[in-house]
Structures are given as structure tokens and as C-alpha cells.
Amino acid sequence: MTAATSALSYHDARSGAESAGESIEALHDPIEGTGRAPVTGTVRIIGGRFRRRRVPVPAVPGLRPTPDRVRETVFNWLAGRVEGARCLDLYAGTGALGLEAASRGAARVVCVERDRRLADALEAQARALGADAVRVVCAPVLAWLAGRAGEPFDIVLMDPPFDAGEHGAAAAALEAGGWLAPDARVYLESRAPFEALALPGSWSMLRSNKAGQVRYHLASADPADGDG
């Protein structure tokens, strides 16, 4: 869901060394706004408290908001797990996935997006919705995951730029860094099938589907739990 390229350095989020060494809570401050990109359209929140509210789609090259139909399917897969959960939205882009989780009662949603324009827009949208559970971090995902994990997450929503090839690296960082709670669920979007994503061997696919050229998958970090 994120933009494919950005000139934003990790130092723009905080100083690199400080950000990598701090817990999540240290990165929760609202982002100071810079110029925002024009809007090219909207996506709709499907269910929950903010149902039918529209989320702007900034005109940023490479941005691919997850379509409404796909998000509806994904959150049906996650039914019974979102309310009260700790959610991490990596490569957040418009934040449609993270805002959907907040709408459906997630206790905490951390959205990580490296593009300053998208992070600013997402911060503003969360404020407009009154989505107090949402916090936005403006930083490259892999650099941020290299920092110290705080409380682990129950659900991770991960949609890297397809051409970046970061699915495997981000998944490995999630597991190695202690970011995942026991029995966590991880949602991924890709062009490639699940088996080609170089994910940790302890992850197992629970659900998979395809919409056009996009494949989307739900995985468990617990190979013993295969019933979804």
C-alpha cells in the first residue's frame, strides 16, 4: 500500500541512532507537517466505528491502496481477532488497513510509512476520524524494525512495494526482533505466491486469494495452528 520510492531518510523520522534504540512509544509523537500531496481519490472504510468514511488517496507515485473488496475479505479472515488487538501496519501508505483495524476496535494501531507526505496525510486523517488508537511513525520499515521492540503485536498488516522485494527481510526482522505476539497473524500482499516470498520457516499460510495481478495471504507464525 506504500509508495515505491521516497527521498526521506531515517534521520527525518528522528536521529538514526536514537530511533533504532528507542521503543515504539518514543516514536508516537504527531509528525510535523510539510507540504502535502494532492489527492487523486478516496478509499472507503468497510466496517466498524468509521464505516463508510472515506480515506483520501494522495497523488504519490507507486501508491496502491488495498481495494475495498480485498480489505473486506481480509478482515473477514481476521474476524474475532481485531477487537482489542495490537496491530502493526507496515508500509502503511494511505493507512487504509490500519484505519480499518482501528475502526473495528483494535486497541492500538502503529502505522509505519517512510514517505513524509503519506505520513502527514495519515496523521491528519486519524485526527479527523478521532482514531485515538492510531499512531504514525515516519521511517523506513526495515530500519525501524531493527530497533528495540516494545509490546509485541497480535496482527501485522504488510504490503511492501512489490519491486522492493522486502517481504522476506521484513518478515525475518519481525520474527528476530520480538515484534510478534504468540499466535500472531500476518497479512501480506504480493505479486508472488506465498511459497515464493522467502518467509520464515515457522510461518504457515492460513488463507490466500488473488485479485487481478495481486495475491494476498494470511499467515500464522505458529505452524501448529493451521485452522485460522
pLDDT tens for residues 113-149? Answer: 999 999 999 999 999 999 999 999 999 999 999 998 7
Model pLDDT, residue 214? 85
| Residue whose entry in the numeric block shows the C-alpha cell 500472531 | 184
Which residues of the chain are under the pLDDT cut of 50?
2-35, 223-228
Model pLDDT, residue 130? 96
In one-letter notation, the amino acid at residue 217 is H
Model pLDDT, residue 132? 96
Angle, alpha carbons 31-62-67 (nearest 5°): 90
Ramachandran quadrant class, 42 (left: phi over 0; alpha: psi -120 to 50; beta: rest): beta
**Domains of the chain and any CATH numbers:** 10-220 (3.40.50.150)
Decide the pairing of beta strands 204-211 and 214-220: antiparallel
Query: pTM value?
Result: 0.80
> How many CB atoms are located within 10 Å of the residue 158 CB?
26
